[in-house]
Structure formats: structure tokens, C-alpha cells
Amino acid sequence: MTTRRAVLGAGAALIAGGQALAASPAYPKIGKIRRLSPELDAILDVNAPIEQIADGVTWAEGPAWHWESKSLLFSDVPGNVMYRWTPKTGKTEFLKPSGYDGPPTKIFREAGSNGAIITLAGDLVIADCGNRGLAKVDLATKQKTVLASTYKGKKFNSPNDLVEVRDGPLKGSLYFTDPPYGLEGLDASPAKELSFNGVYLLRLNGDVALIDDTLSFPNGVGLSPDGRRLYVSISDPKRPVIMAYELGGDGLPKSSKVFFDASELLKAGGPGLPDGMKVDAKGNLFASGPGGIMILTPEAKLLGVIETGGPAANCAFGEDGKTLFLTSSHIVARVRTKTSGLAW
């Protein structure tokens, strides 16, 4: 398994994380952590403060930690802007527009960028919802390079989230989801060219392979530490589940099943739906769902929920690898964990 420490060096990573934490000012405390199993104690302290580090956005999404600048990038999807946050500078504008940059149009419901990752190579890659594709963004010039925008000659709907293959023959390839959330009218949008909402694999040679075309609203996406299991969340109140796909050596699914059903959490009044997710080094899922960020074991046991008081959209590990950043409605927050993100 290739880790971020292998790329940048363990010592530098730990120093960078320590400096970032040491420089942190005081932030408002929000929400709470709900413990549903004693097993949570090895992963997260139930009394760990949830700190609100930024606000003032319409719908925060796509958190991604950039090691070299010790900063968090995140998007306001409806606002069509990407922000950068550091403890020293706070929230500053990084890229505007982050998505669609053409003439005025009524096509889009959400025109900005959505999910984002920093790849093993150090590149920023975004689900460019407004431009209906995946794009690499040069962090210095902020110029975009389109990586994929069509499947069999038809435009994607509005790519939502992505995850990088970190090892093996497919290293550097990307799995991504393509629901209709960016389009005005969703599935009824006249701009929608595909008859389905898909999950895909983008290989390094530019080929796009379809993983699943049967999901109503595919959203968040993640990979197990060994890269053999793909997770996909479905943001559908009628079927709020996380799917699991067992992958073959070619990256395509051999089988699939419902990994976790969040229906009971939704019925209990938890705000939000299954959305973005991240996997830690031991294979535990930190997945958006009704109530906040759900912590699930690789066996799908729900250990607890990080509750912000509103719907959670996504999360990402950062700083020294033990800080979980999460986007929740109009705010961005963070909480310290006892585990490390998969990249560390």
C-alpha cells in the first residue's frame, strides 16, 4: 500500500501536522459524538470537541487536505467557488468559478465543483459538476485539464465524488459517481444525455468503464485499504444505503451487495442522507448519513455518529492524519480521532 508518508516522508508529515495543530486558534464547539458501541473508543473519543473552523457557504463539499501548503480545500457547490483554509489565514477564496465558467445558463442546479482529492502525485482532481466531467487543477496556475467528460459519446450528468486507486496495476485510476444533482430538474433535465446515473472507473489511459448503471442517486465513493472493495453511497430517501462491490483484478465488480442500510437512522429523524465518505487505515468507514458522520467497521457495524446538528455532506482526513475534517451544510468542522486516514 502506497501512503502519503511514503511519498513525502514520515518525519516531514508528522512535523507538518504538529505545526498545523500548534497554530490552531480557538474555534466554536458544536454538536456531539454519539457512542453506539464500546468499540468506538479505540477510534474516537466521545468527548473529543467538534470545532467549527469555517462558515458562510451555501453547501460545503469536497474537503481535501493539501500536504505541501498544510491547507484544506473545500467547495461551495451552489456558490461555484472553492476555498482554501489554514489555521493562520482562515477561509480564503481559492478558485472562482470552481466549476462552470461559461455564459449564463439555466441548465445547472449546482454549477460548482463537488468532490475533490489530492492524488498520490500531489495533483488536485475535482468532480467538476458544472462542466460535467473530471478535471485536474494546476494548483499554481489554477488551469484545468479535463480528464473525462463523456461515456460512449454522451455527456456525463454532473460528476459528484471520486476516489483514487492507491496501489496495484490500476494505481492512479479513479472511481467516480455521476448523479444528476448538478442539473436543473435532475433526472427530468432536458440537458441529461445519459438514461442512467452511473458509477465509473477512469483508467490512466483515459478509458472509462461502467461499474453500475442501476443506482438511483449514487453519491459518495470509497475504497478499502487493499483496494478490493468499492463503497458507493446512495442519497435516496427511499433507499438510503451504502453499496459494496467486490472488485476483480481488472477493477470491475465481481459481486455487489447492500453494505449498510441507514433507513432506521433516517426514520429516527437524523438530518441528511448517505453522501461522501472516507476510509481509515484499518478499513473503517467515516460515512455521511442521517444524523452526521457514521463510523462503520469493515463488517458494517455502526459504532457511532459524529453529529454536527445538521446534514453532513462529506469528510476528509488531514493535518497529521488523525484530524477528520467534515463539511456540514453551511459550515466546515474538524474533530480529532485515534485512527489515521488511509493515505497516511
Q: Which tens digits make up the pLDDT trace of 134-185?
A: 999 999 999 999 999 999 999 999 999 999 999 999 999 999 999 999 999 9
Q: For position 343, what pLDDT does the model report?
A: 77
Per-residue pLDDT of the chain (344 residues), as tens digits, is 444 444 444 333 333 444 444 445 689 999 999 999 999 999 999 999 999 999 999 999 999 999 999 999 999 999 999 999 999 999 999 999 999 999 999 999 999 999 999 999 999 999 999 999 999 999 999 999 999 999 999 999 999 999 999 999 999 999 999 999 999 999 999 999 999 999 999 999 999 999 999 999 999 999 999 999 999 999 999 999 999 999 999 999 999 999 999 999 999 999 999 999 999 999 999 999 999 999 999 999 999 999 999 999 999 999 999 999 999 999 999 999 999 998 77
Q: Which tens digits make up the pLDDT trace of 323-342?
A: 999 999 999 999 999 999 98
Q: For position 144, what pLDDT does the model report?
A: 98
SS (H, E, C) the chain: CCCHHHHHCHHHHHHHHHHHHHCCCCCCEECEEEECCHHHHHCCCCCCCEEEEECCCCCEEEEEEECCCCEEEEEECCCCEEEEEECCCEEEEEECCCCCCCCCCCCECCCCCCCEEECCCCCEEEEEHHHCEEEEECCCCCCEEEEECEECCEECCCCCEEEECCCCCCCCCEEEEECCCCECCHHHCCCCCCCCCEEEEECCCCCEEEEECCCCCEEEEEECCCCCEEEEEECCCCCCEEEEEEECCCCCEEEEEEEEECHHHHHCCCCCCCCCEEEECCCCEEEEECCEEEEECCCCCEEEEEECCCCCCEEEEECCCCEEEEEECCEEEEEECCCCECCC
Q: For position 25, what pLDDT does the model report?
A: 62
Q: For position 21, what pLDDT does the model report?
A: 47
Q: For position 344, what pLDDT does the model report?
A: 74
Q: Distances in Å between the alpha carbon of 120 and those of 160, 172, 321?
A: 20, 8, 15
Q: For position 18, what pLDDT does the model report?
A: 42
Residue-range domains of the chain with CATH: 4-336 (2.120.10.30)
